Amino acid sequence: MERLVQGVRALPGGRPAWCAGAVVLAGRGPVVAVEDATGWAVRYRSYDPERQRGVDLPRDRWEPMRVGTVFDLASLTKLFTAVAALQQVERGFLALDEEVRGHLPAFARGITVRQLLDHTSGLRPELPFHDHPGRAAQLALLWREAAAPAGGPAGAHLYSDLNLIALQLVLEQLTGLRLDALVREGITAPLGMLSTSYGPLAPQGVAATEDQRRPWAKADRGMVRGEVHDENAWALGGVAGHAGLFSTAQDLAVLCRTLLNGGAYGTARILGPDAVAALLDPPGLGFGVDQPYFMGELAGHGAAGHTGFTGTSLVLDRATDTFLVLLANTVHPCRRNGGSAPRAAAADCLARAVARAG
């Protein structure tokens, strides 16, 4: 299993050109097979656009990556929103095939809760909430889009942050609780995921993300650390259905094991097996299924997972009872398209190790 870590460190995409640092944690059944960290949680003080490189902090201020480093999960947040939604379905307060307009009247006819979860609502990928301060202005943007989705007819797959933002609004209206409270009370507290929460967080122990400045970013915020990287989640107050959660590899391993166990971990149960199957069975509700670009050789027989823009990812494979969490700060000090080759390489290592073990 040491090859799993070596794959992240040694492949061309896994060198610092892809990320400043990374944490990898993988397991099978109740056993954690590998848990390691490499590189730096914080290395740069800024980004130099003329030289297209990071400007280093003094060497004594570099902070090493540790297995307990906290990461901005970016779109892995969507998985928690999806679990929170299925909890309401299990309790009979929400139905997957009911129309969203029953909760949010601005939505066009025919768009269902299921379509928000599987990204077939027709909503475009995002809206510039970051350029429209104030909840009223932001909601006005969303309602215009929801009334006549610009992404195409409902039924076609189009990945959209707006789906999970809308689902957040449905859940909050339905329960009278903010999404952060729903996640805490329904998921992280029962499972003992004490390092998982929405920000802002004190920066110590948190991996830095980006030196956000226009024109490459959508806001001028400087080096971001402990606050959500996603500009829209930041504009929405830091608690959003599509982004905003922070966590560690160890906490995410607990979530993976919970889902592989059919919704239970130790004495806690957050979902029943049928709800877990709804999340993970193709095409997946909130989860992507069999996506080789980041799942590598784990894809092909029902592996499910997700990636996050900041460099995060997780994969769980019910067929072999294995999981892989790979967290990296690929946007430190600046966003770039580094691809997912290291993610796929790590998944390949895990798949081959499992095949050898039988």
Stated pTM of the model: 0.95
Instruction: Please check whether residue 244 is in contact with residue 74, taking contact to mean a CB–CB distance below 8 angstroms.
Output: no
Q: How far apart are CA 188 and CA 247, in angstroms?
A: 10
Instruction: Please check whether residue 90 is in contact with residue 118, taking contact to mean a CB–CB distance below 8 angstroms.
Output: no
H helix runs in the chain, sequence order:
2-10, 77-90, 113-118, 135-147, 161-175, 179-183, 189-191, 231-235, 249-260, 273-280, 292-295, 341-357
- Does the pLDDT of residue 207 top 70, yes or no? yes
Convert the pLDDT of each residue in 88-139 to its tens digit: 999 999 999 999 999 999 999 999 999 999 999 999 999 999 999 999 999 9
At residue 242, the pLDDT reads 98
Place of tokens 């806690």: 268
**What are the structure tokens assigned to 142, written together?**
């969303």
Domain ranges, ordered by start, for the chain:
2-79+181-357
**What are the structure tokens assigned to 226, written together?**
């402990």
Contacting residues for 124 by C-beta, under 8 A, at least 6 apart: 145, 149, 150, 151, 158, 160, 162
**What are the structure tokens assigned to 65, written together?**
């990556």
Convert the pLDDT of each residue in 142-161 to its tens digit: 999 999 999 877 788 999 99
Third-level CATH fold of 2-79+181-357? Beta-lactamase (3.40.710)
CA distance from start to end of the chain: 14
